[in-house]
Amino acid sequence: MKLNRIALTGILTGSIAAFLTASVHADIFGSGANAFNINFVTVGNAGNGNDAGAGGGLYSSPFGGVSYTFQMGVTEVAQDWITKATNLGMTNVTAGTFSANRPATSLTWYEMAGFVNWLNTNQGHQAAYQLDGTNTSLTLWSSAQAWQAGGENLYRHKDAYYFLPSENEWYKAAHHKNDGVTANYWDYATGSNTIPMAVASGTGAGSVVYAQNFFGAGPADITQAGGLSAYGTMGQNGNALEWTESASTAPNDSSSEGRAIRGGFWGDAEGQVRSSFRSASGPQFEGTGVGFRVASIPEPSSTVLMLSAGLLALARSRRRAAL
């Protein structure tokens, strides 16, 4: 099935400001009973600086500078998407702990990369990661094949359309103030420096799914995972921890090195949902509370498309007048 992008408006509740500055769209995969959408939001302000505490926050860390515009998944990946992709022929990505619209967890980094590769190849794009046939190891791309935007990244192919977010991409979408090319960041991924309200589920501004009973509660549905970041993402604090693409110590030049994990999960205390919280684990690790989300290259600006259509119509009208 060819890629189809559909403009969405107001499908999630939360910060009005986030929707005024965000361009949200859905990419559609599969068909019939196995169709699913992944919603993306644009993360612009290309060339912003790393978080250096310039925004007055208490919990800054030296991440978040990204030299290009990209798209970030609005939500975490749902187990339902893994199930449907498997029904459509994806292999070697093991089912997770939870079901339906809850986050896909208990997957290794390699398996998550395998899902991202399936997203690419299902739409006729280049696979992002050079995995072995069983999604248990990674071979680095050559410099000629590797992603170069923002610095050489030997994990990600230069022509990949979908990919796991790098730690800088993840941090920017979660914590940057979305106020231009600045080094200004929020302490929490709710567009605020105020300690979030702990909830078991919901979309209220300033709320996060955390501080819940580890054994009893579990994560919320991915569309009920708290308030929005300044860019319009949900659940980058709490609900499930999230793998990033990045090695725990940059650059991405060791295939076996531990990968950075961000965001806190539903059972964590407040300290683990701050911007400064960071952990890492080997790519073979599977965690009940660790999920992921997907990033993508930018969608062409609708303004540019409209302008192009207008110029084309004008050119055609002038041609008809000349005949």
pTM > 0.85: yes or no = yes
Answer positive or negative: Cα dihedral of 79, 287, 218, 185: negative
- Classify domain 5-322 at the CATH topology level: paralog of FGE (formylglycine-generating enzyme) (3.90.1580)
Instruction: Chunk the chain into consecutive blocks of 10 residues (it has 323) and report each block's average pLDDT, rounded to whole numbers.
Output: 36 40 82 96 97 75 95 98 96 90 97 98 97 97 97 98 98 97 96 96 97 85 98 98 96 96 95 95 96 89 36 39 43
- Answer yes or no: are the C-beta atoms of 93 and 116 closer than 8 Å: no
- Answer yes or no: are the C-beta atoms of 247 and 296 closer than 8 Å: no
Predicted confidence at residue 163, as pLDDT, reads: 98
Is 185 buried (19+), middle (13-18) or exposed (0-12) by CB count in 10 A? buried
Q: Which among 268, 280, 211, 197 is positioned nearest to 242, based on CA atoms?
A: 280
Q: What is the DSSP letter of 77?
A: P
At 245, which helix (H) or strand (E)? strand 241-247
Predicted confidence at residue 300, as pLDDT, reads: 58
Residue corresponding to tokens 């994806």: 90
Predicted confidence at residue 102, as pLDDT, reads: 97
- CA 141 – CA 154 distance, rounded (Å): 5
Predicted confidence at residue 299, as pLDDT, reads: 65
Helix axes 79-87, 109-122, angle to 10 degrees: 60
Predicted confidence at residue 251, as pLDDT, reads: 92
- Answer yes or no: are the C-beta atoms of 196 and 227 closer than 8 Å: yes
- CA 87 – CA 34 distance, rounded (Å): 7
Predicted confidence at residue 214, as pLDDT, reads: 75
